[in-house]
Structure 1
Amino acid sequence: MDNKTLENQRVLIVDDQRAFQLMFKGILYSMGATNVAFAPTGEQALAKCTNIGYDILFVDYHLGVGKNGKQLLEDLREKKLLLPNSIFMLVTGENTVPMVMSAVELEPDDYLVKPFSQSVLRSRIQRIQRKKAHLATLYQALFDGQAEQVITLCQQEIAKEGRYQQFCKRVLVENLINLSRYGEAEVILQHSLEQRRSGWALFLQAKLCFLQQRFQESLALCQEAIEGNRYFAEAYDVMAQTYLAMGELDQAFSSIQTAAEIAPFSMPRQYLVIKIARELDNIPQQVNASKQLYEITRRSIKQDVVHLLNYIRTIIDAAVREDDPTQRNRYFQEVSLALQRVKRDDGMIREIDFSLFEMLCQARLESLSGAQFQAKKTYAAVAEQLAEQHQILPDAIFLLNQIGEFEQASTLTKLVPAELMKNPLLNTLFSDQQNFVGQKQLQFAELNKAGIKSYKEGNFATAITQFETALELAPMNTGSALNLIQASLQQLNRQQKHKSTELFDRCKKTFRVVDNMPLPEHHRARYKELLQQFTKLREELRR
Structure 2
Amino acid sequence: MAEYSDLSVLIVDPNPGMRGNLHNMLSQSSITKIDYAVSSGTAIRQLAKKPFDIILCEYDLGNGSGENNGQDGQQLLEDLRHHKLIQPWTIFIMLTSEGVYSKVIGAAELTPTDYVLKPFTVDALLQRIRKAVDRREVFLPIYQLIEFGNIRKAVADCKVAEEKNPRYAVDFARLRAELLFDLEELADAELIYQWILMTKPIAWAHLGLARCLFGQQKYLETQETLETLLEQNPRYMAAYDLLARTHEVLGQQESAKKILEDAVAISPHMVRRLRHLGEVAFEAGDVGVAEKAFKQVVAKAKYSEFRDPEDHVKLVKTLVKKGDANQASGVIRDMERSLRGGPNVDVCRAIAAGMVQEMAGNITAAATELTNAVNSVAGSRGLSTGLKIGLVHSCLNIKLDQQASDLMLNLMNDVESGVSMDDAVNVFEKAGRHDLAQGMGEQIKIQVDELIAHAADQRSHGDLRAAVDTLNAGLRKAPGNLALLPAAASAILKQLDDLGWEAPLAEQCYFLLERMRRLDPTHPSLEALMAQYHHTQRKYGISAVA
Query: Smaller-chain TM-score range?
Result: 0.5 to 0.7
Larger Rg: 1
* In 1: Cα distance, 2:193 partner to 2:409 partner: 48
Residues 6 and 407 of structure 1: CA distance in aligned 2, closer, same or farther (over 3 Å): closer
Where 2:11 maps in the other structure, the secondary structure is strand
| Cα offset, 1:161, TM superposition | 5.7
Matched, 1:258 2:258: no
Counterpart CA distance in 2 for 1:104 and 1:121 is 21
Question: Which whole-Å CA distance do the structure 2 matches of 1:348 and 1:90 have between them?
Answer: 35
CA contact (8 A) 1:74 1:300 kept: no
Task: Determine the structure 2 residue equivalent to 1:207.
Answer: 211
Partner of 2:52: 54
Which runs of structure 2 are paired with 1:378-397 in the superposition (5 Å)?
Answer: 379-380=367-368, 387-388=375-376, 390=378
Q: How many residues align?
A: 418
SS at match of 1:57: strand
Unaligned runs of 5+ in 2: 381-386, 437-546
Aligned to 2:174: 170
Q: CA deviation at 1:156?
A: 0.9
Distance 1:18 1:277, change over 3 A: same
Q: Which sections of structure 1, spanning at least 5 residues, go unmatched?
A: 323-327, 443-543
The corresponding residue for 2:199 is 195
Alignment of 1:79-478 (within 5 A): 82=86, 85-91=89-95, 100=104, 104-112=108-116, 114-160=118-164, 162-263=166-267, 269-270=273-274, 272-274=276-278, 276-291=280-295, 303=307, 307-308=308-309, 310-322=310-322, 328-329=323-324, 332-345=325-338, 349-353=342-346, 358=349, 361-362=352-353, 364-370=355-361, 372=362, 376-377=364-365, 379-380=367-368, 387-388=375-376, 390=378, 404-405=398-399, 407=401, 410=404, 413-414=407-408, 417-418=411-412
1:26 aligns to what? Answer: 24
CA distance in 1 between counterparts of 2:327 and 2:319 reads: 10
Q: What is the distance in 1 between the residues matched to 2:389 and 2:184?
A: 35
Aligned to 1:11, the other structure's residue is in SS state strand
Counterparts of 2:283 and 2:262 in 1: how far apart (Å)? 18
**1:236 is matched by which residue type in structure 2?**
Y
SS at match of 2:93: strand
Name the residue aligned to 1:64. Answer: 63
8 Å CA contact retained: 2:351, 2:373: no
TM-score (normalizing by structure 1) = 0.61
Partners of 1:220 and 1:271 in 2: CA distance: 25
Q: Indicate the SS of the match to 2:108.
A: helix
User: Which amino acid in the other structure matches residue 281 of structure 1?
Assistant: G
CA distance in structure 2 between the aligned counterparts of 1:231 and 1:83, rounded to whole angstroms: 27
Counterpart code for 2:311: Y
Work out the CA distance in 2 between the residues paired with 1:184 and 1:273.
32
- Give the conservation status (yes or no) of the 8 Å contact 2:44–2:80: yes
CA contact (8 A) 2:335 2:349 kept: no
RMSD between aligned residues? 4.7
How far did residue 167 of structure 1 move? 1.0
Give the Cα separation in 2 of the matches to 1:75 and 1:96: 20
- Relative contact order higher in (CA < 8 Å, ≥ 6 apart): 1
Pairwise CA distance, 1:163: 0.6
Return the letter of the residue paired with 1:235. A
1:36 pairs with one of 19, 34, 37: 34
Give the secondary-structure state (helix, strand or coil) at the position aligned to 1:104: coil
Residues 64 and 438 (structure 1 numbering): CA distance in 2 closer, same or farther, change over 3 Å? Answer: same
Q: 1:278 to 1:434 in 2, by over 3 A?
A: farther
Q: Is the 8 A contact 1:10 1:55 kept in 2?
A: yes
SS in structure 2 at match of 1:183: helix
Match of 1:343, as an amino acid?
Answer: E
SS in 1 for 2:36: strand
Q: Which moved more, 1:82-91 or 1:414-423?
A: 414-423
Q: Is the 8 A contact 2:190 2:213 kept in 1?
A: no
Q: CA deviation at 1:387?
A: 2.9
Superposition deviation, residue 230 in structure 1 = 1.3
Quick one: distance in 1 between partners of 2:413 and 2:78?
23
Contact 1:283 1:318 in 2 (8 A): yes
Task: Check whether the contact 2:197–2:206 (CA below 8 A) recurs between aligned residues.
Answer: yes
Shift of 1:145: 4.3
Matched-pair identity in %: 22
Question: Compared with structure 1, are the counterparts of its residues 98 and 411 closer, same or farther at alpha carbon in structure 2 (3 Å cutoff)?
Answer: farther
